Amino acid sequence: MNLAAMGRSPATRLGLWLAGLALGGVLWVAAYSHLGEFADAVIGVFGLSRRTPLGEAVHFFFYDTPKVLLLLTGIVFVIGVVQTFFSPERTRALLSGRREGLGNVLAASLGIVTPFCSCSAVPLFIGFLSAGVPLGVTFSFLISAPMVNEVALVLLFGMFGWQVAGLYLGMGLLVAIVAGLVIGRLKMERYLEDWVQQILSGQMAQAVGEQLSWLERLQVGAAHVREIVGKVWPYVLAGIGLGAGIHGYVPEDFMAAFMGRDVWWAVPAAVLLGVPMYTNAAGIIPIVEALIGKGAALGTVLAFMMAVIALSAPEMIILRKALKPTLIATFAAVVATGILLVGYVFNWLL
pLDDT digits (tens, 9 = 90+) for 226-245: 877 777 777 678 767 766 77
26 CB burial (10 A radius; 0-12, 13-18, 19+):
exposed
pLDDT band of 13, cuts 50, 70, 90: confident
Map out the domains of the chain as residue ranges.
17-349
Query: According to the model, what pLDDT value does residue 37 have?
Result: 92
Backbone angles phi, psi at 41, to 5 degrees: -65, -40
Q: By three-state DSSP, how is residue 34 classified?
A: coil
Residue 46, CA distances (Å) to 50, 55, 57, 249 in order: 12, 9, 13, 19
96 and 283 Cβ atoms separated by less than 8 Å: no
Around 117, how many Cα atoms within 13 Å sit in the side-chain half-sphere? 27
Averaged confidence pLDDT in the chain: 76
Task: Tell me the average pLDDT across 153-176.
Answer: 80
3-state class (DSSP) for residue 49: coil
What is d(CA 149, CA 168) in angstroms, rounded to the nearest whole number? 10
pLDDT of residue 205: 46
* DSSP code, position 116: -
Taking the whole predicted model, whether its pTM rises above 0.75 is answered as no
Helix (H, G, I), strand (E, B) or coil at 192: strand
| Model pLDDT for residues 202-224, shown as the tens digit of each residue | 544 444 445 677 888 888 888 87
Strands (E), 142-281: none
What pLDDT, on a 0 to 100 scale, did the predictor assign at position 26? Answer: 93
The candidate with the shortest Cα–Cα distance to 68, out of 21, 42, 31, 22, is 31
Name 102's bridge partners. none
Q: How many residues appear in the chain?
A: 350
Which of 69-78, 177-186, 204-213 is predicted with the least confidence, judged by mean pLDDT?
A: 204-213
The predicted model gives 174-194 an average pLDDT of 87
Burial 186-207 (b: 16+ CB within 10 A, else e): eebbebbbeebeebbeeebbee
The answer to whether 301 and 259 are in contact (CB under 8 A) is yes
How far is CA 119 from each of CA 35, 91, 126, 206, 309, rounded to the nearest angstrom?
A: 16, 25, 11, 28, 9
Dump pLDDT digits (tens) for 284-321: 665 676 677 667 788 888 888 888 877 877 778 778 87
pLDDT at 299: 84
Least confident of 173-182, 309-318, 323-332: 309-318
